[in-house]
Amino acid sequence: MNLVPVTYKGGIYRHDEIMDLIEDLGGYIIQKHVLAQEVVLQALVPREDIGLIARIGKPLTGEITPSPLVGTEIAVVTMSLEIHHLPHASCDVAEYVRRMGAKTNMVGLARGFGKRIAQLNDEERDVINEHDLAVYLLGDFETCIEHKFPVLRRGIHIPIIVLGGPSTETLMRIIDPPVDGYVGNVGRFMHRTKESEELEMLDQVVTEITRVLDKKRDAIAKDPPSVSPARLMDIISSQVDDIHEVLSPTPITVQMTGLRVKLPYDRFAPLLKEIIIEEGITIGEVAEILPSRMRDYILIRIKPFSETNIMV
Amino acid sequence: MDAIEYFEVESPEDAGREYYRRIADVVLLDHNLLRVIKKLHISIDPRIPLFIAVGVTKKIPRVIKVGDIADVNVQERKVTLSIGDETYLAPLLKILWAEYGGDKVVQPDRFTVILNIEGADGRQIEEIPVIDPSEALYKDLIYALLVIQPEGFKVRRQYYGKEKFYLVASENTLPENFEDLVKEKFALMGETL
């Protein structure tokens, strides 16, 4: 079954029918937002059933749109979050990407600013590496980007997209070795993005993120994870009651090959390890359960099929 | 609103220059400072790195005295101040308390302050300075320049007074001859520091 990420927007009236439908079809609801009279569902659904959901949702004023970023966790890395430099361009980027379905986390570096003094500490590095993709928002001067970027990428092994003030071509020229994606003309500009050309620029960022993530998806498809992260999320939320006490918007965050479970590691890691997925296969057999550097959360990294020889 | 007479941003990088021109424009507009600036020259060199902003302000209102905001009426055993403009009432009361003591200063209503003192000189009270608006204005101006400057430039030197101001900032130690550089920038605007 081929699951595709979609966003469903519709009225709150009878929306539970749509949720039941998605679950009955074998899909997974990643996140549900209720905004006054409207419901936004971010879900993974079988490709062939999109038409059916659209048909059933139509009388409920529901719309279904593909959103390729659902089920990914993206780090928006910004050089500083200083109060007197607000508003930061990174806020707009993070919010816009979030609207497209991704779970974004802002990583404001403690000492990311400046040309000579910029640095990345081990905690920041590890937190960034826990994501599917990192979007770096740099400044306006190419001299500074060229000089400081090697320091900021040290130890990062996930795909990187660089955003900066100079043009895309300039960014490509000055960054060596190359990174996975570039979007120019998004530097420090000290005002909110409202005009159409600025929103177009944010669309470009989303396009670039989608392109890089599609490439990563293709690579993952060659050696798929032993269990789908969305399915694992479903299992954990049905078997661990404490997860429903967590007040975060996404108590379990779905990534491309893993999950972030927002429960204390010490108490819950042994418990998660023993949960049976199917036919006696436990989570511990198909995934590594690691402490996250983000608070005391749990990070689950699902092992690929080639490593476990199990597919559930 | 009067436009700024002279506004230039110089930098060896074209893209960076355009960005900083817009940033300066947006920040000064947001902080409501465009109407007080007459000339502004910003120079950024990311290679050193060094940020220099120099400028000239328009005529700034002089020091506000008691006579400007209140009518002083001296009677035998008391002095009545009828407040015309209550914008600076709070600093005025603070000064009066410090001068005559809290028990001698009575405020029966919003626009009246009575000083229970004997044999006061009305002229002398009128001359008491209440506030210097230029002080706050220059502070706002320097703050706005701090917002404009590139993030992370923590080493800085600033100056304001006599309708002129400058801010020099860098992440490294400032060059020894930075005052000459500032004078050069003032010369570009046809001014001398």
* Domain residue ranges of chain B, discontinuous segments joined by +: 6-61+133-188, 64-131
B22 inside 8 A of chain A by CB: yes
Q: Specify the pairing of strand B164-170 against strand B50-57.
A: antiparallel
Residues 6 or more apart whose CB falls under 8 angstroms from that of A224 comprise A304, A305, A311
Characterize B158-172 residue by residue with b for buried, 16 or more Cβ atoms within 10 angstroms of its Cβ, and e for exposed: ebbeebbbbbbbbbe
Instruction: Give the pLDDT band (50/70/90) at residue B2.
Output: low
A223 inside 8 A of chain B by CB: no
Q: By the 8 A CB rule, do B92 and B65 touch?
A: no
Instruction: Give the pLDDT band (50/70/90) at residue B1.
Output: very low
Mutation target among A85, A111, A185, A193 for the B interface, most CBs of B within 10 A: A85
What ipTM describes this predicted complex?
A: 0.82
**Cβ–Cβ gap B47/A79 under 8 Å:** no
Q: Which H or E run contains B86? A: none
Residues 6 or more apart whose CB falls under 8 angstroms from that of B96 comprise B105, B113, B115
Mutation target among A78, A143, A168 for the B interface, most CBs of B within 10 A: A143
State which residue of chain B sits closest to A140, comparing Cα positions: B16
Task: Write the DSSP assignment of A59-70 as a string of letters.
Answer: GGT-EEEE-TTT
Residues of B in contact with A114 (CB under 8 A): 150-154, 171
Q: By the 8 A CB rule, do A165 and A146 touch?
A: no
The dihedrals phi and psi of A226, each to the nearest 5 degrees, come to -65, -25
Reply yes or no on whether the pLDDT at A1 is more than 70.
no
Average pLDDT over residues B124-144: 88
Q: How far is A43 from B138, CA to CA, in rounded Å?
A: 55
Q: How far is A20 from A24, CA to CA, in rounded Å?
A: 6
Reply yes or no on whether the pLDDT at A192 is more than 80.
yes
What three-state secondary structure class fits A86?
coil
Mean pLDDT computed over every residue of chain A: 93
CATH number for the domain whose boundaries are B64-131 = 3.30.1360
Of A143, A167, A189, the CB nearest to B23: A189
Q: How far apart are the CA of A109 and the nearest CA of chain B, in angstroms?
A: 12
What three-state secondary structure class fits A99?
helix
CA B17 to chain centre: 27
**Cβ–Cβ gap B151/A80 under 8 Å:** yes
Instruction: Report which DSSP code applies to A225.
Output: B
Q: How far is A71 from A49, CA to CA, in rounded Å?
A: 19
For chain A, first and last CA: distance in Å?
13
Alpha helices in chain A (DSSP H): 15-24, 50-57, 89-99, 122-129, 142-152, 168-174, 196-222, 229-239, 265-273, 283-286, 305-308
What are A204-220's pLDDT values in tens digits?
Answer: 999 999 999 999 999 99
State which residue of chain A sits closest to B29, comparing Cα positions: A191
Residues of A in contact with B152 (CB under 8 A): 79-80, 113-114, 117-118
Q: How far is A66 from A160, CA to CA, in rounded Å?
A: 24
pLDDT at site A85: 83
Instruction: With both helix axes pointing from N to C terminus, report the angle between B133-148 and B14-30 in degrees, rounded to the nearest 10.
Output: 150
* Residue linked to tokens 């009246």: B112
pLDDT at site A150: 94
**Cβ–Cβ gap B19/A165 under 8 Å:** yes
Average pLDDT over residues A159-186: 94
- What is the three-state SS of A170-199? HHHHHCCCCCCEEECCCCCCCCCCCCHHHH
What are A13-60's pLDDT values in tens digits?
Answer: 999 999 999 999 999 999 888 988 999 999 999 999 999 999 999 999
**Cβ–Cβ gap A165/B172 under 8 Å:** no
pLDDT at site A156: 95
Instruction: With both helix axes pointing from N to C terminus, report the angle between A89-99 and A196-222 in degrees, rounded to the nearest 10.
Output: 60
CA-wise closest residue to B66 among B100, B31, B91: B91
Kindly state the percentage of chain A with pLDDT values over 90. 81
Q: By the 8 A CB rule, do A47 and A80 touch?
A: no
